[in-house]
Every structure is written in structure tokens, then in C-alpha cells.
Amino acid sequence: MFQSFSVFNLFNLYLLPIFIILAAFFGSFVFWRLLHQRAFYHEFEIFDGFLLSLFFGFLSGRFIYIIIHWPQFHWHFWRWLNFFAHPGIAVFAAIFTSGLYLTYFLKKQKITNLEILDYWSRATCLGLVFYNFGLFLDGSGSGYITENPIGLNFPGLTAKVHPTQLYAFAFFLILFFFLSYLEKNYRTYNWYRGHRSQAKAGFIYITFLLAFSLYSLFALNFQPSNYSYRNLSLDWIFYLLIIIYALYLLYRNCLYVARKK
């Protein structure tokens, strides 16, 4: 919609990189604020791990994006590095790598509690809000052609398409506030707590994984697959594996403990 604007007629400033930076900034702030409230953690060490997870997530997301859009980049290394003039990131790869690295980092710190990943989930959810709004302004990542009134005309397109960026923006904004609500209340859920005196951390992480994956699968009704191999959509495989993993965590956190009791 408003992909870029000129700065004093010297250069064009693209909006998508700005919103990706805002996503990282506000996501980091949410993570630090939640971490700061729990004084018994090594705050700076864990926050450093979170920042590293953002860094590695960005690298992997950028690398996968370049591979997917290879005709745009080829072997022009400057285009690879010039994120502001040639923006783009594979968000699923970035989130997956970020979460995987943070899990590895916490394991090295001998922190098995999923509470830190609860914080990561809320931070990532807020980051997705900014990212998808940036996609909308950039005009990229739109969905299939539609005749529905909700369809929008994007620059460079002759037909109306689903504004899937706005769908995702609204979904993750609602999910962010819902996760905040759950954080204050899930410890009172008897079905999750089971026979324990205190609910086990990780419920926010599990909810985020399930909501993110289910929405991403549902969104395939309105937009093409992001990852495919020989006309085979890999998105279904990725997200179904995450759903299975989240259900396993849920089983381990509550159902398994309840049966064991």
C-alpha cells in the first residue's frame, strides 16, 4: 500500500524493515518486562539468550526467504545483505529457529521450566502484530483473488485479493491480549493443574503454538503455501508437527501427571 517513501529525495525508505525492527524492539521489551518481574532468574543472561535467539532467527528467516525468492536475489550478495533496499524474511523459519535456539540456551543454563518460553510466546505474538501490519503497508504477502467486499486492490495487482496481512494482524493482536488474560488465570484451571498444588508453567507456550499453527493452516484457504516442493505444500507438514508437539507438551504437563497420580 505504502511500500516506501522518499527521504529528502536522497533515497527511498522501505516500511517493512522498519516494522520488522519495531517487532523485534517491542517483542524484546515485553520479554524483558516479564522476565524482570521474576527476580529469581539471571535476568541479563537469559535476556542475552533471547537477543541471540532473535539474531539467529533473523539470519535463518532471511536465508530461507532468499532461497524462496532466488530469482530476485541470485548471487548478488549485496542484495542478500541490503535488508532495507530488498526487505523480506521467512517468518516461520525465523520463529522456529528463535524458539529452538532459546530452548537450547535454556537447557545449557539448566532451566527446564517452560516459564521462559511462556514469555517468549507473548513477545513473539506481539512481534507478529507489527510484522503483519508492515506486510500490509508493504503490499506483500497478500492472498488469493476474491470478489468479496473485504477484498482490496494492492498496487501492481489488477484484481482484488484477500488482505491476509490484516487477517493475521487482527488475529495475533487478539491472541496477544488473550495470552495476557490466560497468564493471569490459567493457574486456577483445575483440569490443567490436576492434583498438584500449583499449575505447571508452559500453558501460554502451548496455547501460542496451537493457535499459531491452527491459524496458519486455516489461512491456507485464503493464501498460497509459503513452502512447497514439487507442488507439494510443506506448510501442512510443518504446522501439523508443531500441533503434535504442543499436544505432547499438554499431555506431559497435565494429563500425564493426572494419570500418574
Checking if the pLDDT of 8 tops 50, the result is no
At 98 the pLDDT is 95
Query: Total structural domains in the chain?
Result: 1
Cβ 16 vs Cβ 137: under 8 Å: yes
At 110 the pLDDT is 84
At 189 the pLDDT is 78
**Rounded mean pLDDT of the chain?**
85
At 23 the pLDDT is 95
Query: What value does the mean pLDDT take over residues 160-181?
Result: 94
Helices vs. strands in the chain: H and E counts, helices first: 11, 4
Range of the domain at 168: 4-260
* Rounded distance between C-alpha atoms, residue 234 and residue 96, angstroms: 15
Q: What is the largest CA-CA distance in the chain?
A: 70
Residue recorded with cell 473485504: 150
The DSSP result for 111-160, as a single string, is: ---THHHHHHHHHHHHHHHHHHHHHHHHT-S---B--STT-BPPTT-SS-
At 39 the pLDDT is 55
Checking if the pLDDT of 260 tops 70, the result is no
Checking if the pLDDT of 232 tops 90, the result is no
Give the confidence band of 1 by pLDDT, cuts at 50, 70, 90. Answer: low
Query: What value does the mean pLDDT take over residues 6-15?
Result: 58
pTM of the predicted model as reported, rounded to 2 decimal places: 0.87
At 258 the pLDDT is 46
Checking if the pLDDT of 9 tops 70, the result is no
% of residues, the chain, pLDDT over 90: 43
SS (H, E, C) 193-225: HCCCCCCCCCHHHHHHHHHHHHHHHHHCCCCCC
